């Protein structure tokens, strides 16, 4: 391979996988082979699951040689107050020590990622003053002490860890000023920017003292919070790294580049990508993002980014990973493009096919080239389909790739929670109930259905000579499942957008409106038929992973249909 483009090339694991030793070993070996040099273990409670901290259970000193020195002083107190947590931290310590040893053998650095503030429940009993009028106070000064103590203890135990990646502005932690519900005087008077500054300083001091790196993410949900955290990030010490999602708010490949990239002062920058597909179909709707990665990584490199992180799974979807679906090609693309932005799509595809055992034994070089071109042609068309399936005109129209379950849910997701228009003003009326919008959206959805059908045909009728038969069958099955997913979304979007037009349009209720009235009733019947088809599919098939059935859930269809029928009269 050629010259490295990004010095940090990270693979990120979430949730259960972050505690699975055998899975981590598999990923470490993949990383060595595919040009990754940094492992990120991402769980919000990771640090809290592995330190006590000792000070709050009776340790007499602030510094100890190991967790066992702490434990011998506090085991009675631990058993009294948190019996199920007594042995957990030192067991997990042994696990992490072994992971760090294995990573070190492979020259891979390890970072822990979380969303602060986090804490064990017993802390509320030890420090009841942090609860005011039944609400946990985000601004109580105790949290600054607790945070400092926690990280000091963590790095005394794990000097091998390279640093901490954190997101203080999401509201997805146990306490954050972003979702703070406390209304005490201190909370009313403290600007959000001050809270961000205080928490990050409390983290930075023990991390910096240990000679490690603090990485701060700008994971936020709206431009206002974007500005609030940005104003603090720019004034952090220069050795703090800023990590940015490649698109604003979340991993939506239909969104523009994150405008913060290249505008973080003197800080080193990393950029984050999702390979699995939280918002683009989980690999059930296949999405080969090689060309999207290339464009966004080139944009990032031009703006001084030195590191890239590729997420392989999602904390809210236990048991699912990019390693178990066709989107795994994105991890090959990420590793190769991080070293050479000019790496061709067929080159990426050939590496994927070779290393994942697709080529049949005895296949010649010429045959491999021919069949690789064929497979690359199929994969290369998948993002076009995915971009028009759980999206409408680029707007997020799903619940993390699942169909919405009600009328209100659909438009809350697309226009409030995951709003594109707050980042791109040209999309302000993209979903407005107007004839032109409805026609464009339905044409887009029908185009996705036609493309998915055509891809199934090409996979069935094309030449897979040179590939293992079981791999061809697997690919054909995946494309068939993708078609089912696309057709489901086509129907759901048609029903929701037609219903919105009938309920909310300000346009004259002429012939087109009357046509949509008739269409609405047809769509309600079609949803009922789709529900029945999916129930038969659940009973009669055995596809893996189980998430195929999560995305094709007849109960979600029934819930949506009932809501549309029970809603405002049409």
d(CA 570, CA 567): 9
Residue 229 pLDDT > 80, yes or no? no
Q: In the prediction, which pLDDT does 2 show? A: 47
Residue 47 pLDDT > 70, yes or no? yes
Residue 205 pLDDT > 70, yes or no? yes
Residue 220 pLDDT > 80, yes or no? no
Residue 30 pLDDT > 90, yes or no? yes
Q: In the prediction, which pLDDT does 80 show? A: 97
42, β-bridge pairs: 14, 113
Q: Strands, E, within 370-522: which ranges?
A: 391-392, 395-396
Residue 156 pLDDT > 80, yes or no? yes
Residue 261 pLDDT > 60, yes or no? yes
Choice among 91-95, 262-266, 305-309, 501-505 with the minimum mean pLDDT: 262-266
Average pLDDT over residues 292-318: 97
Question: Per residue in 523-541, pLDDT tens?
Answer: 999 999 999 999 999 999 9
Q: Between 335 and 3, whose confidence is greater? A: 335
Question: Per residue in 160-194, pLDDT tens?
Answer: 999 999 998 777 889 988 889 999 999 999 998 89
Residue 1 pLDDT > 60, yes or no? no
Check: CB of residue 569 under 8 Å from CB of residue 546.
Answer: no
Q: In the prediction, which pLDDT does 172 show? A: 82
Residue 355 has which token pair? 């290393």
Q: In the prediction, which pLDDT does 62 show? A: 86
Question: Per residue in 445-456, pLDDT tens?
Answer: 999 999 999 999
Question: Per residue in 319-348, pLDDT tens?
Answer: 999 999 999 999 999 999 999 999 999 999
* Distances, alpha carbon 188 to alpha carbons 116, 178, 231, 563, in Å: 21, 13, 20, 39
Residue 11 pLDDT > 70, yes or no? yes
DSSP-derived pairing of the beta strands 269-274 and 131-132: unpaired
d(CA 257, CA 366): 39
Average pLDDT over residues 27-55: 97
d(CA 99, CA 283): 28
* 87 φ/ψ angles, rounded to the nearest 5 degrees: -95, -10
- Judged by phi (left if over 0) then psi (alpha if -120 to 50, else beta), residue 324 lies in alpha
Tell me the DSSP string of 483-508: HHHHHHHHHHHHHHHHHHHHHH--S-
Q: Band the pLDDT of 441: cuts 50, 70, 90.
A: very high
- CA atoms 54, 59, 65, 68: torsion sign: negative
Residue 369 pLDDT > 80, yes or no? yes
Q: In the prediction, which pLDDT does 153 show? A: 97
Vertex 174, ends 169 and 176: CA angle to 5°?
A: 30
Check: CB of residue 552 under 8 Å from CB of residue 488.
Answer: yes
Question: Per residue in 467-482, pLDDT tens?
Answer: 999 999 999 999 999 9
Average pLDDT over residues 352-363: 97
Q: Band the pLDDT of 225: cuts 50, 70, 90.
A: low
Q: Mean pLDDT of all residues in the chain?
A: 95
Q: Between 440 and 229, whose confidence is greater? A: 440
Check: CB of residue 435 under 8 Å from CB of residue 442.
Answer: no
Average pLDDT over residues 112-136: 95
Q: In the prediction, which pLDDT does 249 show? A: 86
The percent of residues in the chain predicted with pLDDT above 70, rounded, is 98
Question: Per residue in 410-435, pLDDT tens?
Answer: 999 999 999 999 999 999 999 999 99
Q: In the prediction, which pLDDT does 231 show? A: 73
Q: In the prediction, which pLDDT does 3 show? A: 62
Average pLDDT over residues 272-290: 98
Q: In the prediction, which pLDDT does 15 show? A: 84
């Amino acid at each position: 391979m050629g010259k490295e483009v990004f010095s940090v090339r990270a693979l990120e694991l979430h949730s259960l996988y972050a505690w699975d030793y055998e899975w981590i070993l598999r990923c470490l070996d993949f990383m060595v082979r595919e040009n990754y040099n940094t492992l990120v273990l991402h769980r919000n409670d990771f640090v809290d699951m592995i330190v006590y901290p000792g000070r709050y259970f009776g340790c007499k000193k602030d510094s100890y040689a190991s967790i066992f020195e702490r434990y011998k002083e506090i085991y009675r107190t631990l058993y009294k107050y948190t019996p199920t947590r007594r042995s957990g931290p030192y067991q997990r310590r042994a696990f992490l020590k072994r992971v760090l040893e294995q990573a070190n053998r492979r020259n891979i650095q390890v970072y822990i990622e979380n969303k602060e503030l986090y804490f064990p429940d017993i802390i509320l009993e030890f420090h009841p003053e942090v609860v005011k009028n039944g609400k946990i106070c985000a601004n109580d000064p105790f949290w600054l002490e607790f945070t400092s103590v926690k990280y000091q203890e963590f790095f005394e135990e794990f000097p091998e860890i390279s640093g901490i990646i954190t997101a203080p502005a999401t509201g997805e932690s146990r306490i954050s000023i972003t979702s703070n519900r406390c209304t005490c005087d201190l909370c009313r008077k403290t600007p959000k920017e001050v809270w961000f500054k205080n928490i990050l300083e409390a983290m930075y001091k023990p991390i910096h003292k240990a000679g490690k790196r603090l990485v701060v993410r700008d994971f936020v949900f709206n431009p206002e919070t974007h500005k609030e955290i940005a104003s603090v990030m720019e004034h952090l010490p220069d050795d703090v790294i800023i990590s940015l999602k490649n698109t604003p708010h979340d991993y939506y490949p239909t969104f523009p580049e994150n405008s913060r990239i290249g505008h973080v002062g003197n800080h080193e920058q990393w950029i984050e990508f999702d390979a699995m597909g939280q918002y683009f179909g989980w690999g059930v709707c296949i999405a080969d993002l090689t060309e999207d990665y290339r464009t966004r990584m080139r944009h990032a490199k031009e703006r001084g980014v030195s590191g890239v992180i590729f997420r392989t799974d999602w904390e809210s979807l236990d048991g699912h990973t990019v390693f178990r679906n066709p989107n795994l090609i994105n991890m090959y693309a990420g590793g190769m493009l991080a070293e050479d932005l000019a790496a061709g799509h067929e080159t990426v595809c050939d590496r994927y096919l070779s290393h994942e055992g697709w080529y049949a034994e005895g296949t010649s070089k010429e045959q491999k080239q021919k069949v690789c071109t064929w497979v690359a042609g199929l994969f290369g068309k998948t993002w076009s389909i995915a971009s028009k399936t759980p999206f409408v005109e680029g707007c997020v129209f799903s619940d993390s790739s699942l169909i919405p379950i009600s009328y209100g849910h659909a438009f809350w997701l697309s226009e409030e929670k995951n709003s594109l228009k707050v980042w791109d003003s040209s999309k302000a009326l993209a979903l407005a109930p107007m004839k032109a919008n409805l026609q464009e959206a339905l044409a887009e959805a029908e185009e996705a259905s036609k493309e998915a059908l055509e891809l199934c045909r090409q996979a069935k009728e094309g030449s897979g000579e040179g590939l293992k038969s079981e791999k061809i069958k697997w690919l054909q099955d995946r494309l068939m499942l993708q078609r089912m997913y696309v057709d489901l979304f086509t129907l759901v979007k048609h029903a929701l957008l037609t219903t919105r037009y009938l309920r909310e349009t300000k346009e004259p209720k002429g012939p087109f409106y009357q046509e949509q009235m008739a269409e609405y009733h047809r769509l309600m019947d079609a949803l009922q038929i789709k529900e029945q088809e999916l129930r038969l599919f659940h009973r009669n098939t055995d596809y893996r992973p189980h998430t195929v059935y999560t995305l094709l859930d007849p109960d979600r269809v029934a819930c949506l249909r009932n809501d549309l029928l029970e809603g405002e009269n049409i």
